[in-house]
Amino acid sequence: MNARDLMTADPACCTPETPIREIARLMVRCDCGEIPVVEQGGLQKPIGVVTDRDIVCRAIAEGKDPATATATDVMSSPAIVVRDSDSEEAVRAKMERHQIRRVPVVDQTGAICGIIALADLARHESRKDVGQVVREVSAPAR
């Protein structure tokens, strides 16, 4: 099994200029906690991600105006990604190493084509394997 088999295809994305209020609405509409930030223009190459936690910690907690703050103000960058051809083991290892709960998937051109969340792993892997990933991702920051 590879990343292409695990991923949710065609995730909602935003650009660096997208207001965080719009990003939050995307999260609600898509029932997700992370929106990849892609370059302006044609390729859709991920340059960062905005998580629900980024909005809270980097905008609300810091007193930024949610009406004017954009993805650039709160995004985690650079984007940690996997390739659609990467193995399931490689995906798990990258999520563990970077302590991330979701990872964008890119195709051979570097364009975003999907996203993998812990829930996607849980649907395809053993409880033991998923438990190990959750343990590593949730460990205190190194």
Q: What predicted TM-score, i.e. pTM, was given to this entire model?
A: 0.88
Which tens digit of pLDDT belongs to each residue from 41-53? 778 999 999 999 9
- Nearest CA to 55 among 37, 74, 39, 41? 74
What is the reported pLDDT for 7?
96
**Coil, helix or strand for 111?**
coil
Do residues 10 and 61 touch, judged by C-beta distance below 8 A?
no
Instruction: Supply the DSSP string of 52-103, one letter for each residue.
Output: HHHHIIIIITTT--TTT-BHHHH-BSSPP-EETTSBHHHHHHHHHHHT-SEE
Q: Which fold has domain 3-138?
A: CBS-domain (3.10.580)
What is the reported pLDDT for 123?
79
What is the reported pLDDT for 44?
92
- Kindly compute the dihedral angle of the four CA atoms of residues 15, 18, 23, 24, in this order, to the nearest 10 degrees: 160
Which portions of the chain are predicted below pLDDT 70?
124-131, 133-135, 137-138, 141-142
Q: Whole-angstrom Cα distance, residue 101 to residue 106?
A: 17
Which tens digit of pLDDT belongs to each residue from 91-117? 999 998 999 999 999 999 999 999 999
Q: Whole-angstrom Cα distance, residue 82 to residue 84?
A: 7
Tell me the domain boundaries of the chain.
3-138
Q: What DSSP element (H or E) covers 136?
A: helix 127-138
